[in-house]
Amino acid sequence: MEAFPSPLESAKFIAANSKDVSVEEEGARRVAESLFDKASSEEFGLAGWKSLHELNPRDAGEEAVGWVFLVDTLNFSFWSEREEQKYLVKYKGKTYSGYWSLCAAVNRALDDGTPITSASYFATMTLDQVRHVFRSDTEVPIPLLEERHRVLNESGTVLLEKFGGSFLTCVKMSEKSAQKLLHLVLENFPSYRDEAVFEKKKVSFYKRAQILVADTWSVLEGKGDGFFDDISSLTIFADYRIPQVLVHLKAMKYSEKLMKKLREGTVFQSGDREEVEIRGCSIWCCALICKHLLELYEKKGQDMREKINAVLLDYYLWDYAREHRAEMKDVPFHRVRCIYY
């Protein structure tokens, strides 16, 4: 079996053999057409990572890269069993939910003088210290607290032992290749190995590893050590929001049987056939949307390969899902408790 299968190849194989999830070619084409004008706007571009999100770092130095590594090490499983009982974090007068509650808790700790982004700190954090840093402003604690403690200690220890405590050192070793950085992360940080077996084949999604490379590219503003010439080789990040928005936009479809399970709030296990099909088809569907978008621009004589890639499409769709929560309430998201997304 391949050491690290390609997420794009995996997605193609899963989509070709999927039973309960289908990629709707016509729907993908329509989504590409609807994004045509947006794709060349500011909000679709790399600068949006900072300008649209007040909790993301403003600067592009070693500290900011360390912030990205810490956050993406913990960037998983924020969904709550009951919508009205959620983990929430108040920060600078605003209340944050989901992924943004993680960022708010990290920034709250830094403001309190806790060096949470420093490897020598999180490598040896105790469970109680993790509980305190990520404390909730509701009765609902952050999901998977013990797992977060474990991955923090594990990742911090590796960062200290192999990269002098600095993720920027790891980035520099990738010599401006997104794929090399992806493989350095997979080889050294076990919690990022987001894989499954489908039809007896090892497949991969590498959601947190790929978003770590993407967020590193974004925080470095695509310049200097973050000037990845192969950034468009990354796929979208198979979380639990992108599938929801793709079904909402009719670019992807679930069987009635699967829809029923999702509506009942079934909790799947990481690696279950339905979960693998949802995640693999999402990656493949977005690869098609990117392809159609580039073709539409090509027909107009514009080569947009520098401006349109799966990373920017993902960021756009993820933000869209956040902003259209109400319209999307009839499309359930799939529930898995795991450290991968």
Ligand X SMILES: Nc1nc2c(c(CN[C@H]3C=C[C@H](O)[C@@H]3O)cn2[C@@H]2O[C@H](COP(=O)(O)O)[C@@H](O)[C@H]2O)c(=O)[nH]1
Question: Binding of ligand X at residue 315 (CB under 6 A)?
Answer: yes
Rounded to a whole number of angstroms, the minimum distance from the CB of residue 311 to ligand X is 9
Return the number of the residue (239 or 277) whose C-beta is nearest ligand X. Answer: 239
Question: Binding of ligand X at residue 69 (CB under 6 A)?
Answer: no
Q: 170, 176 in Cβ contact below 8 A?
A: no
Return the number of the residue (163 or 262) whose C-beta is nearest ligand X. Answer: 262
Give the contact letters, 220-259, x = binds to ligand X (CB under 6 A), - = no. Answer: ----------------xx-xxxx-----------------
Give the contact letters, 92-131, x = binds to ligand X (CB under 6 A), - = no. Answer: ------xx--------------------------------
- Angstrom distance (rounded) from CA 285 to CA 251: 7
Residue nearest to ligand X (CB): 98
**Half-sphere exposure in the Cβ direction for 34 (13 Å, CA):** 13
Q: How many chain residues bind ligand X (CB under 6 A)? A: 22
Using a CB cutoff of 8 Å and minimum separation of 24, what contacts does 330-333 make? 331/244, 331/247, 331/248, 332/244, 332/259, 332/262, 332/263, 332/265, 333/79, 333/240, 333/241, 333/243, 333/244, 333/262
Question: Binding of ligand X at residue 268 (CB under 6 A)?
Answer: no
Question: Binding of ligand X at residue 309 (CB under 6 A)?
Answer: no
SS3 percent helix, strand, coil of the chain, rounded to 5, is 55, 10, 40
Residues forming a β-bridge with 82: 85
Number of H helices, E strands in the chain: 15, 8
Active-site choice (194, 215, 225, 239): 239
Return the number of the residue (134 or 318) whose C-beta is nearest ligand X. Answer: 318
**239 noted as active-site residue:** yes
Sign of CA dihedral 219, 69, 320, 35: positive
**Half-sphere exposure in the Cβ direction for 37 (13 Å, CA):** 1
Q: Which stretch binds ligand X (CB under 6 A): 22-30, 75-83, 157-165, 227-235?
A: 75-83
Give the interface with ligand X as residue ranges (CB under 6 A). 49, 53, 56, 75-76, 78-79, 98-99, 211, 236-237, 239-242, 314-315, 318-319, 322, 341
**Annotated active-site positions, please?**
239
